[in-house]
Amino acid sequence: MTSKYRPVTTLACMAGLLASSVVLGAQPQPGLSYGANLKLTAQSIDDLDLGTRDGGDFNGVGLSVRPWIYNRQGDWSTFALGEAFLATDTIESDTSESDTFDPNDAREREDQFLAMHEFWVDYGGLSAYPGESLRLGRQKIRSADGLWWDSNIEALRWNFETTLLSAHVGIAERFSDYRTDLDELAPEDEDRLHLLADLSWQWQPGHWAGLKLHHSDDRGNLPGKGASVDQLSKTATGELSWLGAELNGDFYNERSNLPLSYWVAATWLTGNVDTLRTSTVAGRRQADGQLSQDVDAWAVDLGLRWNIDQNWRVGTTYMRASGGSDGDDSEQFTQTGLESNRSKFTGTGSAINRFGEAYRGEMNNLQAASVFSGWQLGEDYDASLVYHRFWRVDDQADSSSGLKAQLVPGEKDIGQEVDLVVTRYLNRGQIPAGMEWLKASSALVRFRGGLFLPGDAFGKGTDSSMHRAFVDFVWRY
């Protein structure tokens, strides 16, 4: 589908979905269910560029309506999830990979849009196992750690879920973002095919061992020598393969009964990349050839949490991802491009960014350590307090993050951060007096905030702090 027709198609799909929710509002047919999530978000983002340039502040309020419809008949099921979004500024509409700010994404996002997040068909008649199915369409693909996958993407995926064994195999490629404000894909998503698989075995109650595999084939073309280059030009192509092994002792399960939850993961990255070289001639940025490199990189990720009782948890995490390059060889670790880095590692029901709500680091020439505490009071409240410390592995190479400020050579200290996430859950029968008119089946109020203090790696002249803070009011129908 050409980009020219994508907005029209998206509008038509969204209109149909919204209409379905209204028409079906009386009595659901057998096998049919539907509803909507209503979210009001207040956002404050201060100095993504750490004061090194104009802009970088994104403050506003947004309203999101996400109608959904699900139908199951026999072995077949279908699902669609849309969104209508309106805000006073360009703000984030969700925390998944495809809905958050990427400082490297130069596409202009609007403060209002219509979107289709998921639409798929699933067939569960492959075998007698109720947890086995084949799903086709735009779907949410997510790993519990959020470090490999957490994105909506067009895919064909086989799913197998039992008590002792979990396995998935899929092929995916993004063809559109299905948003009326985005006419074209981000350069790194164009012509990029993903093959992904994972296998986990529960060898004892609460103890899992697993493998993950991801292969990315970027078939796009870099600009030819002398061609003009802008922020929407493709800057890298190639083939990369990730192979990971992990041991998981209910580390991402907030309901774990284990006294100690743990996480041990190691990932090897291999392949080749072609990176665009550029030069500036008479004020015009143009392509100046490419650098071809063989990639041999690695990452380790560790976590330990003490589940003191039903209410309190304390723990620590450590991650190191290799970095740097030397001529034709690169040790610069990168992630799959489908990750969000969000997970429930603190032992509560709230997912938190592993590398800072404000800094939002990536597993890319980064060493990160954290200590945290989590508190949960039944089904009504939870809170997490996290302290992070960040360093570069190679002080001459870049390390990607959610900021727009550049790192200076020769310094490893990236900085430190404190995060606070607090949630109040309102289940059926707990909606406060005066708000019964909303008739929601459940609701929540959540604060997510991070204060980042830059280190010497950002050089002189940068601001001494930056923050991101969000307050979400969510009603589910």
The whole-number pLDDT of residue 34 equals 92
Rounded to whole angstroms, the Cα distance separating 263 from 300 reads 10
The whole-number pLDDT of residue 416 equals 98
Question: 80 — phi, psi (to 5°)?
Answer: -145, 140
Return all residues near 437 (Cβ < 8 A) that are at least 6 apart. none
Tokens of 242: 């990730």
Question: 4 — phi, psi (to 5°)?
Answer: -60, -30
Return all residues near 128 (Cβ < 8 A) that are at least 6 apart. none
Residues facing residue 86 across a β-bridge? 63, 112
Find out whether 265 and 245 touch, Cβ atoms under 8 Å.
Answer: yes
The whole-number pLDDT of residue 28 equals 35
Rounded to whole angstroms, the Cα distance separating 345 from 304 reads 9
Find out whether 34 and 71 touch, Cβ atoms under 8 Å.
Answer: no
Rounded to whole angstroms, the Cα distance separating 2 from 449 reads 39
Per-residue pLDDT of the chain (477 residues), as tens digits, is 444 333 333 333 443 433 333 333 333 344 899 999 999 999 999 888 888 776 667 889 999 999 999 999 999 999 999 999 999 988 887 766 555 666 667 788 888 999 999 999 999 999 988 899 999 999 999 999 999 999 999 999 999 999 999 999 999 999 999 999 998 999 999 999 999 999 999 999 999 999 999 999 999 888 888 888 888 889 899 999 999 999 999 999 999 999 999 999 999 999 999 999 888 887 788 888 889 999 999 999 999 999 999 999 999 999 999 999 988 999 999 999 999 999 999 999 999 999 999 999 999 999 999 999 999 988 899 999 999 999 999 999 999 999 988 999 999 999 999 999 999 998 754 656 555 555 667 889 999 999 999 999 998 888 889 999 999 999 988
The count of residues in the chain is 477
The whole-number pLDDT of residue 190 equals 93
The whole-number pLDDT of residue 2 equals 41
User: Could you tell me the end-to-end alpha-carbon distance of the chain, in angstroms, rounded to an integer?
Assistant: 34
The whole-number pLDDT of residue 21 equals 36
Rounded to whole angstroms, the Cα distance separating 436 from 431 reads 6
How do beta strands 207-218 and 165-173 pair?
unpaired
Find out whether 173 and 154 touch, Cβ atoms under 8 Å.
Answer: yes
The whole-number pLDDT of residue 8 equals 36
Q: Where in 31-75 does DSSP place strands (E)?
A: 32-46, 58-73
